[in-house]
A and B are shown apart, each in its own frame.
Chain A
Amino acid sequence: MPLTRRARRRAGSRKKAAWVVAYGCGVVLPLALAARTPAAPDRGIADELGSALGIIALALLGLQLVVPARLRAVTGVLGADVAVRLHRRLADVTFAAIGAHVAVVALAKPARLLFLLFFGAPWRAQAAVASTVALALLVGSSVWRGRLQIPYALWRAVHIALGAAALLLAAVHTVGVHGYLTHGWAAVWLAVFVSGSVTALVELRILKPRRLALDAYVVQAVVPEAGGATTIRLQAKGHTGRSFRPGQFAWLKLADDPTSLAEHPFSYSSSAVTPARPSFTIKAYDGFSRRVAELEPGTDVVLDGPHGSYWPARDATGHVLIAGGIGITPSISLLRTAADLGDRRPYLLVYANRTEADIVLAEELAGLAVRLDLTVVHVLSAPSEDWTGERGRICKELLERHLPADLRGYEFFVCASPAAVATSVDALAAAGVAPEYIHVEDFEHV
């Protein structure tokens, strides 16, 4: 008997809860091993708490390298998009653990604050300060990447280098302190954990790209679209293509240099029925996506994908898709797949753009409206005077004008800029849609 939608969601939540418990065990394991070491004399509760926080901070730091590494154990359960979001949230937890470690250690013996001066401090303290500085740079370059206009490929190279440096320096600090983690099984954990975390990084950056390069795709056509977008049509080279679900995405990179950091995640825009001929409709925002838009037919590319945790519900009675600008790509993949499968369920697409000229794939949407039970509502924020459709932005009132009266069994998919996603989700919630039926993608999941 097929699972009901609620049962499937509960199963998904259980998997995530199990994943959190496993992660928690990963964090707690070194403490449990350290607890087997005989207690040193003259150590008060503050010293012990400082050590515990330091050990936890090290474990969190190492696991931070593993979570976004697109390993099957992570992406299979969470999806690569959720893994990246969790990585961001856990960065706060990691930083808090490091801050608490420093604060408690200094509280136990205030003279240790002098170690922060770096010069003249013991090497174990220098390693700790350098590790924290690397982390601060890493967080700063991530938070202000947009404002500092750091190109994506450069940012990733810096991010990975600083992350690995922070972990290795923290491990050097740990060895220098010669405390709990350099004795017995805890020492074994330290060696295995640090080398394992770095291995995860090597797997993502070097080994996996080489494997993927064996199953390359060739660019068949590069088609300019409205609104400054470009469609890249690919053909699997000597294989049947990797199956994907509509709404998923892949990292695309050039096959002549598969280990290069120049890569970018793009949503599949083609029908999932033909995985050997995937296509991506992209908008050139930065250096790499501009290069992709200028690719010549015949060029070999590599896809690291599919990724993404979205599962279109087979038992949904209808779908509401909300898209903004180039955020149409996952929706167009959903609609193309539905049309190829002869889906007769109702679809409503609310598509926001600035002007008529910015509407990506307008003709194709009109064609899909004939093949499917699809209603397309275009919303323009700066339309021409003779525009007769919806004006302004997606809001509660607009959605209420177009949403079907009975939304039972409907699934909702939103893909737009973060601000538009927030407005749309609020508007759907105000229209009475429960959050578990709203799937969200925004442009900034990397």
Chain B
Amino acid sequence: MTTDETRWMATAVEVIAVVAAVLFALLRGF
């Protein structure tokens, strides 16, 4: 692999997951 490319990929997945969970909670919880 070229140095360090999985870091941004995993971070991007993490950001997508957190944003989706928070949006879901906000939409359903209120």
Name A residues whose Cβ lies closer than 8 Å to a Cβ of B.
16, 19-20, 23-24, 27-28, 31, 34-35, 39, 43-49, 51-53, 56, 60, 79, 81-82, 85-86, 88-90, 92-93, 96-97, 309, 425, 435-436, 438-441
Contacts and interface: CB of A to CB of B under 8 A. Distances in A.
A44 B2 CA distance: 45
B28 A439 contact: no
Interface in B1-30: 1-7, 9-10, 12-14, 16-17, 20-22, 24-30
17 contacts: A24-B16, A24-B17, A27-B20, A35-B28, A45-B26, A46-B25, A46-B29, A49-B21, A49-B25, A53-B21, A56-B17, A56-B20, A60-B17, A82-B6, A93-B13, A93-B17, A440-B2
A45 B13 contact: no
Nearest to B15: A24
Given A44-B29, A48-B25, A89-B10, A31 B20 contact: yes
Contacts of B24: 31, 34-35, 48-49, 51-52
Contacts of A440: 1-3
B21 A31 contact: yes
Which of A49, A88, A441 counts the most chain B CB atoms within 10 A? A49
Contacts of B9: 16, 19-20, 86, 89
Interface of B: 1-7, 9-10, 12-14, 16-17, 20-22, 24-30
Nearest to B28: A48
Contacts of A90: 10, 13
A31 B21 CA distance: 8
The A interface is mostly helix, strand or loop, or mixed, namely: helix
The 4 A-B pairs with the shortest beta carbon distances in the complex, nearest first, are A45-B29, A49-B25, A24-B16, A89-B10
Contacts of A44: 29
Given A27-B17, A45-B29, 8 more contacts: A20-B12, A27-B13, A49-B22, A52-B22, A81-B1, A86-B6, A435-B2, A436-B2
B16 A28 contact: yes
A305 to B, nearest CB: 16
Contact of B1 (A48, A51, A82): A82
A113 B20 CA distance: 26
A100 to B, nearest CB: 8
